Structure 1
C-alpha cells in the first residue's frame, strides 16, 4: 500500500488519505485495496487476471496538478460496491488464512514471468540474448529509479544551457529547475512567470494572455527531488520577446562570465551589442554595466581561490615532471597569520635539455599581467636551429626590480648549468631596465650584453634627438659589421648633431653594434623580438588568474614542443628551412666570389663558387634541431586529483591600482611600425 500511495503522490496528487483504490476481478466485480493483505491477494491468478488495473477514486484535481488517472468503467457504481460488501466475510476469512501462513522474514517481490519453479525452489532465468550488464557505471545516468518506476533525470552540467522539459523529469532542487526555466526563456525568446512557488510545488506560465504553455513541478515525497507533474510545451500567439523582464543582470553575469573574463577590454556598448546579436534580447545600459561588474567580481573571487591551490599545483608538477624546477616564494611578513604570495618560477626539463643545442643567445624581458592582482611575468627565451623562439624559463613576480631579477637569473644560471667558462661565451639581449642592469652585474658578470636598438632609439628620442635622419643614422651604425664602417657611420651622425654623437659615445658599441659583437652567440640580432614574440603568444594567458595563466602557458609549450619535433619529417637538406632561405640569399650575393683557405676556419674571399653551406655552423642542422626538441612536457591531472599539501596557502599579493583607466596595449611611437617581424615558436 505504501508503494501504491507513493506512486500516486509522484504523479502530483496530494491529500492521499481521501483516496480509495479498486481493481477489477475475473468475475466482473471490483476489489478494494485497503491494506497490504489485499495487495498480496491480487497475486492469486485464479481470482484476478494477469494484467491488473488499479482504479483511484478520491478528491477532485486541483489547479496545476498532475494528469488525472482515468478509470475505465463505473468504479463508483453503487451496485458494484454493494456486491463487494456482501462478499466481505469470505474474503476476510481468506485473508486470515493467508496471513497465518506468511513467512515474515521473506520480503514479497511479486510473481514474474522470468521465474520458474524447479523442485519446489524459485529459479531466476536470465535471458542472455540481450547480454548481461555487469557494470554499474550507467546505473544512475539515465533515470531516477524508485521501485519499478523510472523517471528521467535533469543533468545540469550538460543540459542547463539548453534545457528540454518532459513529464516526469526530475530535478535535484527547486533552484536548479528555476535556472533551467530562465535559460529556456532566454533561448526561446519567451517571457515566463512563476505563479506559484512554495515548499511543495512550482507553477510556471507564459506571460502572454491565452498562451497554453505550462509547467507544474512538485516535490517528491520523502526524497530530495522535484519532478515535473504536468507539462504543455505549446506556445500560441506569443512571439519573440525582445524586452524580456526575465533578463536580470545576475543571470546575464552567470551566462556570460566566461566571455567577459576573456574580453576584459569590452565597453558597455560593445557588451550590449554582443548580447543582442547572440541572445536576441535587449539590455539596458545599467543592466549591461551591472552584469559585467558582477561577472568580474565572480572571476576575481575565483582568482583568490586559485591561491589556495598553489602548493598542490607545485606538488602535481613535481610528481608528473620530476626534473622540472618549480619554486614558490612567499613574503616573510605575515598578514592575519598568513604569508602573501610573491613569486613563482618555472623551468621545464624539456627546456633544460633543449638549451644545450640552442645558440648561446638569451633574450630576457618582463611583461605586465592584466588581472586584479597585477604582477609581471619575467621570461628567458632562446633561439633554436630554425631561428624560432625556444622558451627556457619564466616567473611571475611582484615587479621588475633588482631583487626579483636577481632571484630569476640565479635560478636560470643553476637550471641551465651555466659555468664560468660557459658564461664567457653567453650573450643576453634585453632593454635597459634599471633593475636588470645591476642584476646582470651580480649574477652574470662575465657574460656579454646587448640592448635592443629599438629601445635605444626610444631613449634617444627622450634625449631630444628626433627626426628620420637621426633614426637612419643610428640604424646604420648598429648594422655596421666592421670597426672601420662603424667609425665612418659615427662620423656621419656627428655631422648631424654633436650632442647625439656624444650621447652615443657614452654607450659601449659591443652593446648595440654588430661591429663589436662576439662570435659565440652565432646571431647578429639587434632587437629583442624573441621576447616580444613570446609575450604576444601568451597574451590571452596574461589576462587569466594565476593557475589558469600558468596552465595556459604550460599547454602552449607542451603542444608546440611536440609539433616542432614532428616538423623535420617533411624537411629536406642538411639544414633547417629558415636557414636554407638565408643560405640561398647569401649564395646569390656571393656567386661571384672566390675563396682561398688559410687554415681550417680562415678564408680569404675574392671570387669563386664554393658551396656556402660548407661554412654553415652545425647548430643550424636538422639533427641539432631534433635534439633541441628531444624532451617533452608531461600532462597534469585535473585539479581534483592534485596531491593535498599541508602547507598554509598564501594570501593574494597586495595590489595598488594606478589612477585612470588601465592601458590594454603598449603605446606605439609615431615613427614605429605597427607590424612586428616576430619569430615563430
Structure 2
C-alpha cells in the first residue's frame, strides 16, 4: 500500500559533537565527576552477519601449474609480486578464459605470464611464467599506485574489515603504505573498503531491494514487531526509492513494560556507500543496564525525521498508558518535535536534557575550567541548596555564564529539580553507548545493519535471561548491580543519631557522624539529602532508620528494581528469521537506494 507523503521544512542540524558518557552516583556532588557511572554499558563485541563470500586458498608462490580460485585472485597475486620487485606489468590479451601480461617495458624485459580458466570452472591455472624481470629496477615508477588497485586493497584489508567494518580510511592508507611503500589516494582507499565490505556483507544496491523482505521475515517470525518503511516514487512503475525505515522488535516492546520509565534518544551518522543517520531509542532495565527499544535509518537529523521517529516510538513502543521521561540533546529537530507532536506534549511525557551536552554548549561560550566544573556540579547535585550555591559561584566568576544557564528551564537539566523523573540518569549515555556498540555497523549495507541489531538483541536476551535465572537460584531479590548497592548501604555503620518526630507517618530526623541532621519521610520516600528521590533507591539515611526500627528496607525499594522485573523484561522469545531470499523473486516492487527527489514524489510503503 502506498500513501501520499509531503515533506515539511527541516529543522537545523545540531552543532553538538560526540560526547563521552556520564551518570550520577549517590555520592557528594562536590567530589563526583562526570565519569561516575551507575549504568552497566558493557555489550561485548557485535556479532556481525556474514555473507557467503570467501576465496579458496591460494598457492604460496606463482609458478607454472599453480591454480587460483578466480581471475581477480590471480591478478592480485601477480600485482603483489611485481610490487615486491619494484616493477609494473600490463595486460596484453584478456579474454573470457585466458589472460596474458608482460612487463611495462616489453622491448627490454622478458617477464611475462599466461593463464587460462577451465571450460567448466572458475579457477585459473598458470600455463607459462617467466618470473624474472630483465629490465632495471625503478623504485620511483614502481611506487606509482597503478597496479595497487582498489580490489587489491580490498583483499589486503579484508581480515581487518571483518573485525572492524569502521576501519578508518586514513588508517587503511597508512597500513597500505607500511606494507607496500606506496601511497594511495583517499578515494582509492575508500573504494577498497567499499569492495571489502561488499564482498563480506553483500551489495549495497541489492541490500535496499532485500530490505522489505527481511523486515517482513522478521515480522513473520516475531509477530508484533513494528516496521515502518517509507519510500519515494521514481516515475518507473513498481520502482521506489528508499527514504526511511523504523523497526522495533516485539520482545523489546514487551520488555520495556518492566524497565525504568526513561527513554534516551540519539543519532549517529552512517558512513557506507549511501549516507544517512541511525536514530536509536534506548531504555534502562532493572539492573540499570541499557535496553534497546527502537531504531530508524533516516536521511538526516531534522525536524521532520525526528517527529517521524518520535511518533512511532510513542505510538508503537511506549504506548499511551505509561508515563515516560525522554532524555536527549537540544537538537533543533528534537525541540521542534516536542513543540509539534501531540504524543510528546502529553502530561505523561517529561522532557529532560543531557547534562553533558548542556555543559559542552556552555563551554563553547565560556571557556573556563572552573566554570566547566561548576556547571556539572550544578546539574548533578542532589539538593536545591547545593544547586543555588553552585549557580552563585558561577555568577561570581561570570555574570553572562550565570544568565546563560538561568535561561534553560531548571528542571530540564538540574537533577535537584527533576522530581525523580530521570531516575538519576544525567546524560544520553544509554543511547550513545548503544550507538558505540553499533559503531562497527555504520559502514554496512542496510540489511546487514538491521541484521546486526537483530543479532545483538537475540544475544542480549539470551545472556540476560540466563543471568536472571542464576540470580534467582542464588536467592537474590534484586539484579546484581542493585543487589550490590543494597548490600553496601545496608552494611555501612555510622555513629547515627535518629530522632522520631511521627512514627505513624514515618517522619524522622537523622544525623550521621558529624554531618548536619536531615529530615526523612518514609511514607513519601523522601529525604533531605536528595539522593532517595534521584533514582528511587533508598539513601543511607533510610537504611539507618530501618535499622533503628528493626525492619528491612525491601519494602522501600521500587518494584522496577526487583529481580522479578528483570526476569520479566527478558521473558519474550526471539525467534530466528526465516529464509526470505526466495520470496524476493515474487515481489512486484523494486526498492532503490536514496537519492534526492522532488518532495511531491514522496510516499509511504507499508509492510
Once the two structures are superposed, the pairs formed by residues 172-211 of structure 1 within 5 Å of their partners are 176=70, 179-180=73-74, 182-183=76-77, 186=80
- 2:338 counterpart residue number: 440
1:620 corresponds to which of 556, 561, 566: 561
1:313 corresponds to which of 206, 214, 217: 214
Q: Residues 554-579 of structure 1, C-alpha deviation per residue, up to 9 Å, x if partnerless? A: 22222222222222355443222222
| Aligned-pair CA distance for 1:624 | 1.9
- 1:676 counterpart residue number: none
Q: How far, CA to CA, are the matches of 1:473 and 1:293 in structure 2?
A: 44
Does the CA-based 8 Å contact 1:217-1:226 persist in structure 2? no
Once the two structures are superposed, the pairs formed by residues 51-200 of structure 1 within 5 Å of their partners are 158-159=55-56, 161-162=58-59, 176=70, 179-180=73-74, 182-183=76-77, 186=80
Does the CA-based 8 Å contact 2:258-2:565 persist in structure 1? yes
Unpaired runs of 5+ residues, structure 2, are: 1-51, 105-109, 507-521, 528-540, 598-607
| Aligned-pair CA distance for 1:275 | 3.7
Q: How far, CA to CA, are the matches of 1:227 and 1:479 in structure 2?
A: 67
Bigger shift: residues 294-303 or 547-556: 294-303
Does the CA-based 8 Å contact 2:231-2:244 persist in structure 1? yes
Larger Cα-atom Rg: 1
Once the two structures are superposed, the pairs formed by residues 36-51 of structure 1 within 5 Å of their partners are none
**3-state DSSP of counterpart to 1:563:** helix
- 2:354 counterpart residue number: 452
2:462 corresponds to which of 562, 566, 569: 562
- 1:634 counterpart residue number: 575
| Aligned-pair CA distance for 1:497 | 3.9
2:437 pairs with 1:537: yes
| Aligned-pair CA distance for 1:370 | 1.9
Equivalent residues, number: 484
| Aligned-pair CA distance for 1:477 | 2.8
Q: How far, CA to CA, are the matches of 2:72 and 2:374 in structure 1?
A: 70
Q: How far, CA to CA, are the matches of 2:206 and 2:178 in structure 1?
A: 33
**3-state DSSP of counterpart to 1:373:** coil
RMSD: 4.6
* Cα distance change on mapping 1:598 and 1:412 into 2, 3 Å: farther
Q: Residues 490-530 of structure 1, C-alpha deviation per residue, up to 9 Å, x if partnerless? A: 44444444444433333322212222223455x11222211
What is the TM-score when the length of structure 2 is the normalising length? 0.66
| Aligned-pair CA distance for 1:401 | 2.0
Q: Residues 630-659 of structure 1, C-alpha deviation per residue, up to 9 Å, x if partnerless? A: 224333356644544534333322379xxx
1:377 corresponds to which of 268, 274, 278: 278
1:646 corresponds to which of 578, 587, 593: 587
Does the CA-based 8 Å contact 2:280-2:294 persist in structure 1? yes
- 2:49 counterpart residue number: none
* Cα distance change on mapping 1:410 and 1:178 into 2, 3 Å: closer
**3-state DSSP of counterpart to 1:476:** helix
| Aligned-pair CA distance for 1:341 | 1.7
The structure showing larger relative contact order (alpha-carbon pairs under 8 Å, at least 6 residues apart) is: 2
1:343 corresponds to which of 226, 229, 244: 244
Unpaired runs of 5+ residues, structure 1, are: 1-154, 657-681
Bigger shift: residues 226-235 or 618-627: 226-235
| Aligned-pair CA distance for 1:532 | 1.4
Q: How far, CA to CA, are the matches of 1:499 and 1:195 in structure 2?
A: 70
- 1:329 counterpart residue number: 230
- 1:461 counterpart residue number: 363
Once the two structures are superposed, the pairs formed by residues 502-581 of structure 1 within 5 Å of their partners are 502-519=403-420, 523-571=423-471, 572=474, 573-581=476-484
